[in-house]
Amino acid sequence: MAELLTIGEVARRSGVAASALRFYEERGLVTSERAGTGHRRFARPVLRRIAFIVFAQRIGLTLEEIGAELAKLPPDRVPNRRDWARLSSGWTERVNERIAELERLKLGLTECIGCGCLSLERCKLSNPGDRVAENGPGPRYWVGDAPAV
């Protein structure tokens, strides 16, 4: 039988707050057993699932996407290195998109916020008449839409 850990031990080892662990459990991302006292006990392999959740969130996956990925793990055994690698293999494009987004933000900090010119011709923050709204919600120029000419 696998060693069982208390929620406090899992929180300390994973760096994730106990409240987040309870939330992950409510969402079906992790599971625990209940001791006779009703306290949660987690099997040690849950630490890898939590690490996966943390990494996936950092690259921008939603909890729904993370749940879908975790559902691909084998139900009859503890996932191994190959299983985890298979899940994360499709993330390269997502990471590249995130890097591009951060590069745009960096450029904005340098060019726009730092310059103070408030040029309506060049400024990525300018959108008179909200003409870019037809492209979708959010800061369209920041997410990569080209300004209309």
Residue 15 has pLDDT above 70, yes or no: yes
CA distance 66 to 53: 7
pLDDT recorded at residue 131: 67
Pick the CATH number of 4-93 from 1.10.1660.10, 3.50.50.60, 2.40.10.120, 1.10.510.10: 1.10.1660.10
- Average pLDDT over every residue of 53-67: 90
pLDDT tens-digit series, residues 130-149: 667 777 776 666 677 776 65
CA distance 40 to 4: 9
Give the pLDDT band of residue 1 (cuts 50, 70, 90). Answer: very low
User: Which residues are within 8 A (CB) of 56 and not within 5 positions of it... i.e. 6 or more apart?
Assistant: 65, 66, 69, 91
User: What is the domain partition of the chain in residue ranges?
Assistant: 4-93, 117-149
Give the pLDDT band of residue 103 (cuts 50, 70, 90). Answer: confident
Q: Residue 4 forms beta bridges with which residues? A: 43
pLDDT tens-digit series, residues 89-102: 888 888 888 898 88
Residue 123 has pLDDT above 60, yes or no: no
Give the pLDDT band of residue 10 (cuts 50, 70, 90). Answer: very high
Residue 125 has pLDDT above 90, yes or no: no
Residue 22 has pLDDT above 80, yes or no: yes
pTM: 0.66
Percentage of residues of the chain with pLDDT beyond 70: 75
